[in-house]
Amino acid sequence: MGSPLEKKRAFVTGGSRGIGAAIVTRLARDGADVAFTYVSRPEQAKATVKAVQALGRRALALQADSADAAALTDAIDKAAADFGGLDVLVSNAGIASMAPLAEFRLAEFDKMLAINLRAVFVATQAAARHMPKGGRVLTIGSCNAERMPFAGGAAYAMTKAGLVGLVKGMARDLGPRGITVNNVQPGPVDTDMNPADGDFAAMLKPLTALGRYAVPDEIAAMVAFLAGPEAGYVTGASLMIDGGFTA
């Protein structure tokens, strides 16, 4: 049995570390060549490239801020030109700003909206131009789209809830071309931004049914399934992988 993503060409935003790096390496392990964007920390981007190459796949790291629509589009076009097209897009890049409503700065609101929501639309618009029938578009949302159990997260929850509607609409737009569009909604995940042994974790772990954080590879596994041939009839869906956070 061959690799499920053999000869596929993938593009991942925010792929140098954390969940993004886990997705990049999992797609490569399943057979895909993978391009990804990063904003800072080029040493981490290089490490992710080496991890893909060690699996015998092609890797391409492109510096681009997802908040910059022109830069993001250019990166996708470059990857498509280098790979000869794209089969999989994973919009993973995202930021989280938390503050009480009265103190939340509008500049932070606009930045989060640009990266968490507008960039997904921009990336899909750009990638779809290079996708054949059978393409896969995936977004990384959040369980907070459906449950925000603490104060200060209103704007973040709004951006992730927006993905639910965006994905439904884009699934209708791209369905006639045989391209699926789905949204993966993780719960708490152990990354350097939100470590499982951090102060925030003490509050979040009891809110899950399993009483623990996910590891990035668990999120990557769901992404890989949705990117693969067995998920060809799944589209317009927002799929929870949250350890029972929203149960």
Kindly report the CATH number assigned to the domain that includes residue 99: 3.40.50.720
Burial 188-206 (b: 16+ CB within 10 A, else e): bbbbeeeebeeeebeebbe
Residue 199: beta bridge partners? none
Dihedral sign from CA coordinates of 56, 60, 65, 66: negative
Torsion, Cα 7 10 16 21, to 10 degrees, reads -70
Burial 7-23 (b: 16+ CB within 10 A, else e): ebbbbbbbbbbbbbbbb
pLDDT of residue 1: 55
User: How many whole angstroms separate alpha carbon 115 and alpha carbon 25?
Assistant: 23
Residue 247 located in a structural domain:
no
pLDDT digits (tens, 9 = 90+) for 225-238: 999 999 999 999 99
Mean pLDDT computed over 155-182? 98
Domains in the chain, number: 1
pLDDT digits (tens, 9 = 90+) for 117-126: 999 999 999 9
Residue 62 located in a structural domain:
yes
Q: Is residue 100 pLDDT above 60, yes or no?
A: yes
The terminus-to-terminus CA distance of the chain in angstroms comes to 36
Residue 245 located in a structural domain:
no
The answer to whether 35 and 10 are in contact (CB under 8 A) is yes
pTM of the model: 0.96
- How many residues does the structure list for the chain? 247
User: How many whole angstroms separate alpha carbon 85 and alpha carbon 108?
Assistant: 35
Report strand pairing: 9-13 vs 136-140.
Answer: unpaired
The answer to whether 165 and 218 are in contact (CB under 8 A) is no
Residue 71 located in a structural domain:
yes
- Active centre residues (catalytic): 156
Residue 182: beta bridge partners? 138
Range of the domain at 59: 9-231
Residues 6+ apart with CB under 8 A from 218: 189, 241
Q: pLDDT category, 193, cuts 50, 70, 90?
A: confident
